[in-house]
């Protein structure tokens, strides 16, 4: 099964609908399973104490996604055969997103907010839970809140049948909430710990912008969901934070990752169909010369 790549637009849309369409088109073109936006309002994201003191935080108002974009984005995603997801950052955002999105993504920063977890779980839509900065107790608490709200998110035989299958309705992403995160800070081995502790599919939310990290998390730690931040042209509002990929580089990685998975094959050692003709050109054991004697006689 291919790895499911999710492109995270964040606020790199710059409140421009045509630019949003370009993100959707490019994400679909390079092989992403889904594209994710964020829906927040500054006055419902930061406390008044912070906004009163910090011009930097007040200026993030220009990063907000306009609500009127949502139906157009959903329509474009359907046209491009890519899933549409979004992170709600205030309670009303959950219902505002509901008619349009395929799944919710809970931000690492909102992991402790039980009311938001319940609100998302009440919808019965798939949830991806990001766990940057969290410990196992905090992850366990969030999962329990979701399950107690809606038992459809509980583990079942379909979820646990195979590690390498992504099964909604609930998945978890390991994450390091530093922008950018150095490879030595990524602690990819925690993916195994989270999986063993909770049993849900576990992926990786990338802030490293390092291809070696992506390959390692797939081939060593068996992550089957990779979320990454995308910018088109180094003009997105968040590009200068240093955690965004460009489409060309990520297209190569997606292709290489999924080609590598295809190369795994099956658990046997027999001549492959593509080798059958070449078998006749092996050295004959009687004289060590190629090809086998049966082919020499009939060779034209």
**Any idea where the domains of the chain sit in the sequence?**
4-265, 276-300
The confidence score (pLDDT) of residue 168 equals 64
The confidence score (pLDDT) of residue 7 equals 98
The contacts of residue 137 (CB under 8 Å, 6+ apart) are none
The dotted CATH code for 4-265 is: 3.20.20.70
- Of 236, 237, 234, 176, the closest CA to residue 210 belongs to 176
Low-confidence stretches of the chain (pLDDT beneath 70): 1, 157-168
* Alpha-carbon torsion, ordered 76, 79, 83, 84, to 10 deg: 10
- Of 171, 250, 172, 179, the closest CA to residue 215 belongs to 250
The confidence score (pLDDT) of residue 2 equals 80
Q: How far is CA 43 from CA 52, 110, 115, in A?
A: 11, 15, 18
């Amino acid at each position: 099964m291919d790895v499911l790549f999710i492109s995270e637009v964040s606020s790199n849309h710059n409140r421009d609908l045509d630019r949003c369409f370009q993100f959707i088109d490019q994400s679909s073109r390079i092989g992403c399973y889904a594209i994710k936006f964020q829906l927040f309002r500054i006055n419902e994201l930061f406390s008044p104490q912070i906004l009163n003191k910090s011009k930097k935080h007040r200026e993030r108002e220009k990063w907000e996604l306009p609500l009127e974009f949502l139906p157009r984005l959903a329509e474009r995603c359907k046209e491009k055969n890519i899933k549409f997801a979004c992170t709600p950052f205030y309670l009303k955002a959950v219902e505002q997103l509901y008619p349009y999105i395929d799944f919710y993504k809970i931000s690492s920063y909102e992991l402790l907010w039980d009311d938001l977890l319940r609100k998302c779980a009440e919808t019965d839509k798939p949830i991806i839970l990001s766990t940057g900065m969290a410990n196992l107790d905090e992850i366990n608490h969030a999962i329990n809140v979701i399950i107690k709200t809606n038992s459809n998110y509980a583990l079942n035989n379909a979820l646990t049948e195979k590690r390498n299958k992504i099964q909604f309705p609930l998945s978890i992403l390991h994450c390091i909430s530093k922008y950018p995160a150095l490879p030595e800070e990524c602690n990819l081995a925690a993916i195994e710990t989270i999986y063993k502790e909770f049993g849900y599919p576990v992926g990786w939310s990338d802030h490293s912008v390092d291809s070696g990290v992506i390959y390692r998390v797939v081939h060593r730690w068996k992550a089957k969901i990779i979320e990454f931040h995308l910018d088109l042209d180094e003009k997105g509002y968040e590009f200068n934070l240093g955690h965004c990929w460009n489409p060309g580089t990520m297209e190569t990685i997606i292709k290489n990752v999924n080609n590598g998975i295809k190369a795994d094959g099956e658990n046997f050692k027999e001549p492959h169909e593509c080798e059958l003709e070449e078998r006749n050109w092996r050295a004959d054991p009687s004289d060590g010369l190629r090809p086998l004697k049966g082919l020499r006689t009939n060779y034209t």
